[in-house]
Chains A and B, each alone.
Chain A
Amino acid sequence: MTERFASIDAVAEGLAGAGYVADRSIAGVVYLADRLAKPVLVEGPAGTGKTQLAKSVAEATGARLIRLQCYEGLDESKALYEWNYRKQLLRIQAARVAEEATGAEAWSDLEDDIFSEEFLLTRPLLEAIRASDPVVLLVDEVDRVEVETEALLLEVLSDYQVSIPELGTVAATQVPLVFLTSNNTRELSEALKRRCLYLHVDYPDPERERRIVLAKVPGIGEHLADQVAGVVRSIRQLELKKAPSVSETLDWARTLVLLGASSVDAEVVRETLHVLLKYQADIAKAGRELRV
């Protein structure tokens, strides 16, 4: 197996090149995922860059990103593969016409024919397994599927293969990097967790947040970025319904830049707090606590 990254530092650098500011633990887990050929289960609050991590890894390694968005009611025909019924029906009807014209075509030939790859619709998981070019597979919001559907993922995640009864087993030619993200709305099954490396992505500390702001918001000054990170840290310490996520921090920083603010003062905070916080009660509370 080819190794994608030489060291943990190389991961961090690669991700930085793709515009993702990774801390040591994120880089470490991505590196391990590569070396151990194991999927990574990324958990954490919404808006902390879980999905972005997979995208950035794909960009950093020059791989294609294949994304499976999970939702309630997802089944194998949407995740793994599906037979193209309509095309199969047409094929059978065509065969019947041909039969009348020429005389004979054995059913077994026809069966082999309609259960061949031509009639197979690949879905993300199978596509990732069959890809000959390097791919990164992202299984997004895996906590949304039912527990029973999780089982679908197990074969793919542990053995990197898919069994199709009519065709046999399709094994991966190269091991894809797999990321599963979860917003932790329910406990995932033990079986799934056991097969994965676990990475908890929390809100970044002010230093990392500052770097993220600097990397993602064009035209922002060091001083302002510093203050943005500081204010957000103070707000996150309060008990709120919904703490501001990184994406909201970025929105706020962009707002400040657009408003032409060079530094954060009480008035600016008061007027733009609604960008950071989405509940009226939270805004009131934060305003009170920060005395703006």
Chain B
Amino acid sequence: MAGFVTELRAAGLPLSLTEDLDALEALRHVPLVRRDDVREALAATLVKSAGHRPAFDTVFDAYFSLSPAPVEVAAAVEGVAEAGGAAGEGADLAALLEEALRDGDDERLRALAEQAVEAAAGLTAGRPVGLSYYLYRTLRAVDLDGALARLVAGAGAPSALEQRLVADEFGDRAARFRAAVEAAIRRRLVEERGAEAVARSLRRPLPEDLDVMHATSDELAALRRALEPLARKLAVRLARRRRHRRRGHLDFRRTLRRSMSYGGVPAEPRFRRPHPAKPEVMVIADVSGSVAAFARFTLQFVYAISSQFSRVRSFAFIDGVDEVTRFFDGAQDIGAAVQRVNAEADVVWVDGHSDSGQALTAFWNRWGTEVTHRTTVILLGDARNNYHAAEAWVVRSLRERARHVYWLNPEPRSYWDTGDSIVSRYGEHCDGVFECRSLRQLARFVEQLG
């Protein structure tokens, strides 16, 4: 249990002693033989944020994976083996799997998962390969995707709608099978290497700490899901802070009226609501290949909280620059708008290699006069300029006109100014240069803007 909590802390969950004690207390009240109940009891006391739940589940599975009555599983495996004759061959397993998927029989799916791992994963002691490798091998052996496609085709749904419903239902079952296979592999790995080592190898950063530049497509999906609630939270916080930063002037009329119920004693002073101005934001983003994911992501975030700014204008550049605000105006789906930026904006001038000097000069010539003292300019990019001229004077002039100029760099600070990165040439003219690799860092930056 102590190791479990330590591992959770290592995975980034903020756990205090109180929570630790609560968890132990909770365990006294739940039936320990039921793994699900133990899991929920621990989760209720230890996990205080929905985003941390996947991390908790991973660690829990590693530490408490030996508990699900192994006898029962073994019996089920035998049952399946008998049903399918001399099972063990990949083809047989695949057929059995298809059948189990069609019937939606969870028990059999779990048993089959055990068997498939036994037969196909090829777990060998001492090989330093991870769970995902074995998972891939097992699933390929039983041809899960193929089975899925055949099942959907074979269901004979009369309409497109029903076909979709059937596909989703089977997709769900397949996901359960996948999870069962993963659990089976994990259990074997834990037996071999010990819970601690497995948990460590499975450790993943929390969504808000993911590195945007190097995220896998799964991780990017998780990021997008995390983005919306985070943006909402930030918007609420900004709005609140703006309203509470200072109280307005005393509202004499309302104070007097209030005082009537206290016999003319002004016991409850009333204040006018303050109406501070919202900042106006111009985002100038490098959308070239190296930082495209980051730019997309940041634009999405800025627009998600655009209600907190009086106006957001965005520009995209590679070696040419183009205003892309029009793609976002009235767009309900920000993700789609960002796609259109990539496809339609006129951002390539010569050869499609980043040239921020060229792009900034073009920006200054076309839109420079529209930058005012209310504007906050945010430049996004890694400032890897392919050894073109920096034209840092543009940033200096921008700063003279604008309220603030910030540069956000998605590279780790230690890479700055290495190779063709010239971020500090620009940085010296900015009000701040920020390393901005994760959602958390981005949110922190935006918060201090408001």
Contacts and interface: CB of A to CB of B under 8 A. Distances in A.
Interface of A: 8, 24-25, 28-29, 31-32, 35-36, 38, 40-41, 43-44, 72, 85-86, 89, 146, 184-187, 190, 193-194, 196-200, 202, 206, 227, 230-231, 233-234, 237, 239, 241, 264-266, 269, 279-281, 285, 289-292
A41 B48 CA distance: 9
Nearest to B37: A28
Nearest to B47: A198
B159 A265 contact: yes
B370 to A, nearest CB: 30
A28 B161 contact: no
B267 interface: yes
B165 interface: yes
Interface string B11-23: 0001010110010
Contacts of B233: 184-187
B40 A25 contact: yes
B165 A234 contact: yes
Given A32-B30, A89-B262, A265-B159, 13 more contacts: A8-B31, A28-B44, A40-B44, A186-B237, A194-B48, A200-B53, A202-B50, A233-B172, A234-B165, A241-B332, A265-B161, A266-B161, A290-B164
Q: Which secondary structure dominates chain B's binding surface?
A: helix
- Using C-beta atoms within 8 Å of the partner chain, give the interface range for chain B: 35 or more
Nearest to A196: B48
20 contacts: A24-B40, A28-B30, A38-B22, A44-B50, A72-B240, A86-B261, A185-B236, A186-B233, A187-B49, A194-B18, A198-B48, A200-B53, A202-B50, A239-B335, A264-B161, A265-B159, A266-B161, A279-B332, A281-B333, A292-B161
B366 interface: no
Given A239-B335, A281-B333, A32 B44 contact: yes
Given A29-B44, A186-B236, A291-B160, A85 B262 contact: yes
B192 interface: no
A233 B40 CA distance: 24
B169 interface: yes
Given A200-B50, A290-B161, A233 B25 contact: no
A86 B44 CA distance: 45
B175 to A, nearest CB: 11
Contacts, number: 117
A241 to B, nearest CB: 7
B25 to A, nearest CB: 6
Contact of A28 (B14, B40, B49): B40
A198 B43 contact: yes
Given A198-B48, A239-B335, A32 B164 contact: no
A206 B439 CA distance: 32
B143 to A, nearest CB: 24
A281 to B, nearest CB: 4
Given A89-B262, A239-B224, A227 B165 contact: yes
A32 B19 contact: no
Interface in B177-236: 224, 229, 232-233, 236
Contacts of B232: 185
B165 A231 contact: yes
A233 B18 CA distance: 38
A196 B46 CA distance: 10
Contacts of A184: 50, 229, 233
A38 B25 CA distance: 11
Interface in B336-386: none
Contacts of B103: none
